[in-house]
C-alpha cells in the first residue's frame, strides 16, 4: 500500500478530461470525449494528484489519512473562468434599470454611463478599495467552483489607473487560493478625454502603458477591444504587436457586434484566444481553427444584453475550433460570477452538448488562460484542483440551470470552499 494525504472515494463519476497531447480539445469529437470513470476516486499527496481510477483501484493501492466520501457526487477538474473584468469600483445596476426601460447603450453613454462611468470611479478609487472588490468577486467565483481565472484591467484608461487595476488583481490574488492570470486591457475603449485624439491614446498605450506593465511584470496577456467605438484592426494590430515584443501574449475582443476582421487579426498575431466572436464569419472561424486560437464565448453577456448578438458555437466547433466558455464577469453587460450558469447557457443558447460545455469551462478554458499545464484535467502528476458537484453526473451541471451544485472545491488538495462558503485557511 502506498501512502497518500487525501483520498476522494466513491464518486458516481470522476470526469478526468484526460487524454490527448494538445492543450485544448478541438471540434465535436474531442470536446465530447470527457473520459469518465464510474464509481471513481482520486488520491492526493502533497497537493498533487497521484492517482485516479475506480474506487476499488484507489482503495486497494493507497491508504490516506483523510477521506472524502463522494457517494452520489461527481468529481470534475476545477473550473477556469477564461474572461473576467473584476476590477471596478461601482456596480452599474442603475444602467441595467435604464436598459430595462428601453434606453440603448448610446443613450446610457450619453447620460454618463457605460465604461466611462466605470473609468471615472476606478480613477478615483484607492488601491485598497479595488483590492477589496476583487477579493469579494474571487470569493464568489470560488464558491461556484472556479479555481482559476483570467482578469483584465480596462476600466482605468489612464496609465496610473491601469497599473493600479493590475496591481489590485495581483494583490487580491496573492491572498487568495485561486490562480489569477492578469491581462492588460488599456485598449478597452478610447477614454473621453482622447475622443478627438485617438492616435494619441493608442500611442499612450504603446509607448507608456505597455512598457510599464511589462517592466513591472503586471500582466501575462495584452487584450484589445476591436469594434466600432473602440479600436480598428490596424490600431489593435499595432498595440498587440507592441505587447508581444514585450512578452505579453495577445488576446482579442473581436466581432461582438459585427465581423470587423478581429478574428482574422487574432489568427494573424497568434493570439491565445479571441473573445466574444459573436459575429465572426466562416472565413474568420477557419482562420481561428488553423491558427489554434481559442474562441472564448460569453453567452451570459449575450443574454444580459437582450440576445441581439449570440455566438455560433456549432459553426466554430464544426470548423475545428477548441471552444471555451467564460462569464465575461463585468458590471455593465454580465454581472455574474456563476460559471455553471454560463455552462447552462452554452446548452440552451448555443446548442452545445453537456460534454462540450464541461470541456469549455475546464480544459479549453485552462488553455485559453495559459494554464494548460496545471489546470483543466484530472491526471496523476497534476495539482489537485478539484470540484465535487452535489449531483450524480456531469450532465446535471448544465441541466440544473441556476443552481449552484458545487459541494466542495479543492485547490492544491486543500479544501477552499464548502457548500457556498469560502473556507479560510489559517496559514493563508
Q: What Å distances lie between residue 112 and 90, 107, 157, 190, 378, CA to CA?
A: 14, 9, 16, 15, 47
φ and ψ of 44, to 5 deg = -125, 135
Considering only CA atoms, which of 134, 163, 192 is closest in space to residue 329? 134
Closest CB to a copy of itself among 265 and 391?
391
Q: How many residues bind to a copy of itself according to rule CB under 8 A?
A: 41
Please pick, from the candidates 38, 56, 94, 425, the single residue that binds a copy of itself as defined by CB under 8 A: 94
Query: Distance of alpha carbon 1 from its chain centroid, rounded?
Result: 39
CA gyration radius, the chain: 21
Closest CB to a copy of itself among 135 and 393?
393
- Within 10 Å of residue 418's Cβ, how many Cβ atoms? 14
Q: Based on the number of CB atoms within 10 Å of its own CB, is 398 exposed (0-12), middle (13-18) or buried (19 or more)?
A: buried
Residue 214 CB contacts under 8 Å (≥ 6 apart), including other chains: 243, 246, 247, 248
Taking the complex as a whole, how short is the minimal distance between the CB of residue 401 and a copy of itself, in angstroms?
Answer: 5
Q: Per CB under 8 A, does 202 bind a copy of itself? A: no
Q: Per CB under 8 A, does 111 bind a copy of itself? A: no
Taking the complex as a whole, how short is the minimal distance between the CB of residue 337 and a copy of itself, in angstroms?
Answer: 7
Q: Based on the number of CB atoms within 10 Å of its own CB, is 241 exposed (0-12), middle (13-18) or buried (19 or more)?
A: middle
φ and ψ of 172, to 5 deg = -65, -40
Stretch that binds a copy of itself, among 6-14, 43-51, 360-368, 414-422 (CB under 8 A): 414-422
Task: Using DSSP, state whether 76 is helix, strand or coil.
Answer: strand
What separation, in Å, do the N-terminal and C-terminal C-alpha atoms of the chain show?
Answer: 32
Contact 119, 155 (CB under 8 A): yes
Please pick, from the candidates 185, 341, 361, 389, the single residue that binds a copy of itself as defined by CB under 8 A: 341
Residue whose C-alpha cell is 436598459: 99
Q: Per CB under 8 A, does 348 bind a copy of itself? A: yes
Contact 146, 139 (CB under 8 A): no
Q: Per CB under 8 A, does 54 bind a copy of itself? A: no
Q: Per CB under 8 A, does 300 bind a copy of itself? A: yes
Taking the complex as a whole, how short is the minimal distance between the CB of residue 303 and a copy of itself, in angstroms?
Answer: 5
Taking the complex as a whole, how short is the minimal distance between the CB of residue 103 and a copy of itself, in angstroms?
Answer: 11
Q: Per CB under 8 A, does 101 bind a copy of itself? A: yes
Q: Which helix (H) or strand (E) holds 200?
A: helix 198-203
Closest CB to a copy of itself among 194 and 399?
399
Q: Per CB under 8 A, does 337 bind a copy of itself? A: yes
Q: Per CB under 8 A, does 41 bind a copy of itself? A: no
Taking the complex as a whole, how short is the minimal distance between the CB of residue 406 and a copy of itself, in angstroms?
Answer: 11
Return the residues of window 374-393 that contact a copy of itself according to CB under 8 A.
393
- Within 10 Å of residue 100's Cβ, how many Cβ atoms? 9
Considering only CA atoms, which of 299, 368, 360, 362 is closest in space to residue 327? 299
Q: Per CB under 8 A, does 421 bind a copy of itself? A: yes
Stretch that binds a copy of itself, among 68-76, 199-207, 343-351, 361-369 (CB under 8 A): 343-351
Beta-strand runs (E) in 237-389: 249-254, 273-276, 294-297, 324-325, 386-389
Q: Per CB under 8 A, does 108 bind a copy of itself? A: no
Q: Per CB under 8 A, does 424 bind a copy of itself? A: no
Please pick, from the candidates 22, 97, 127, 315, the single residue that binds a copy of itself as defined by CB under 8 A: 97
Report d(CA 4, CA 69) in Å as an integer: 15
Please pick, from the candidates 175, 217, 245, 419, the single residue that binds a copy of itself as defined by CB under 8 A: 419
Stretch that binds a copy of itself, among 156-164, 183-191, 219-227, 344-352 (CB under 8 A): 344-352
Q: Per CB under 8 A, does 90 bind a copy of itself? A: no
Closest CB to a copy of itself among 45 and 103?
103
Taking the complex as a whole, how short is the minimal distance between the CB of residue 408 and a copy of itself, in angstroms?
Answer: 14
249-254 and 221-226 strand pairing = parallel
Stretch that binds a copy of itself, among 104-112, 124-132, 256-264, 304-312 (CB under 8 A): 304-312
Stretch that binds a copy of itself, among 63-71, 86-94, 198-206, 234-242 (CB under 8 A): 86-94
Query: Residues in the site for a copy of itself, rule: CB under 8 A?
Result: 91, 93-94, 96-97, 100-102, 140, 300, 303-307, 334-338, 341, 347-349, 351-354, 393, 395-396, 398-404, 419-421
Amino acid at each position: 500500500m502506498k501512502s497518500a494525504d487525501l483520498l476522494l472515494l466513491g464518486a458516481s463519476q470522476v470526469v478526468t478530461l484526460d487524454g490527448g497531447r494538445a492543450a485544448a480539445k478541438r471540434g465535436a469529437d474531442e470536446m465530447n470525449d470527457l473520459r469518465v470513470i464510474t464509481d471513481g476516486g482520486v488520491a492526493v499527496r502533497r497537493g498533487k494528484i497521484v492517482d485516479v481510477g475506480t474506487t476499488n483501484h484507489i482503495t486497494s493501492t493507497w491508504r490516506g489519512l483523510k477521506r472524502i466520501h463522494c457517494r452520489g457526487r461527481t468529481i470534475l477538474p476545477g473550473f477556469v473562468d477564461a474572461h473576467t473584468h473584476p476590477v471596478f469600483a461601482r456596480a452599474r445596476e442603475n444602467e441595467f434599470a435604464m436598459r430595462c426601460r428601453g434606453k440603448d447603450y448610446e443613450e446610457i453613454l450619453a447620460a454618463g454611463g457605460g465604461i466611462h462611468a466605470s473609468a471615472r470611479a476606478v480613477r478615483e478609487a484607492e488601491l485598497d478599495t479595488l483590492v477589496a472588490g476583487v477579493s469579494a468577486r474571487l470569493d464568489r467565483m470560488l464558491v461556484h467552483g472556479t479555481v482559476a481565472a483570467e482578469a483584465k484591467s480596462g476600466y482605468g484608461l489612464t496609465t496610473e489607473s491601469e497599473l493600479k487595476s493590475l496591481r489590485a488583481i495581483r494583490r487580491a490574488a496573492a491572498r487568495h487560493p485561486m490562480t489569477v492570470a492578469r491581462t492588460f486591457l488599456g485598449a478597452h475603449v478610447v477614454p473621453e478625454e482622447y475622443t478627438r485624439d485617438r492616435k494619441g491614446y493608442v500611442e499612450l498605450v504603446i509607448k507608456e502603458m505597455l512598457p510599464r506593465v511589462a517592466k513591472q511584470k503586471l500582466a501575462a496577456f495584452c487584450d484589445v477591444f476591436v469594434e466600432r467605438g473602440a479600436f480598428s484592426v490596424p490600431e489593435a494590430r499595432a498595440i498587440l504587436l507592441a505587447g508581444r515584443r514585450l512578452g505579453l501574449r495577445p488576446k482579442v475582443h473581436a466581432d461582438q457586434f459585427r465581423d470587423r476582421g478581429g478574428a482574422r487579426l487574432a489568427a494573424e498575431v497568434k493570439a491565445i484566444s479571441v473573445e466574444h466572436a459573436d459575429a465572426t464569419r466562416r472565413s474568420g472561424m477557419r482562420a481561428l481553427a488553423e491558427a489554434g486560437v481559442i474562441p472564448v464565448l460569453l453567452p451570459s453577456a449575450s443574454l444580459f444584453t437582450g440576445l441581439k448578438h449570440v455566438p455560433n458555437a456549432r459553426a466554430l466547433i464544426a470548423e475545428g475550433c477548441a471552444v471555451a466558455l467564460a462569464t465575461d464577469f463585468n458590471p455593465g453587460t454580465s454581472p455574474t460570477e456563476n460559471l455553471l450558469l454560463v455552462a447552462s447557457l452554452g446548452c440552451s443558447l448555443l446548442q452545445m452538448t453537456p460534454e462540450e460545455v464541461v470541456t469549455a469551462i475546464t480544459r479549453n478554458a485552462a488553455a485559453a488562460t495559459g494554464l494548460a499545464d496545471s489546470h483543466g484535467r484530472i491526471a496523476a502528476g497534476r495539482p489537485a484542483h478539484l470540484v465535487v458537484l452535489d449531483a450524480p453526473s456531469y450532465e446535471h451541471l448544465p441541466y440544473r440551470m441556476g443552481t449552484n451544485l458545487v459541494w466542495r472545491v479543492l485547490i492544491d488538495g486543500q479544501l477552499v470552499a464548502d457548500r457556498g462558503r469560502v473556507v479560510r485557511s489559517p496559514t493563508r
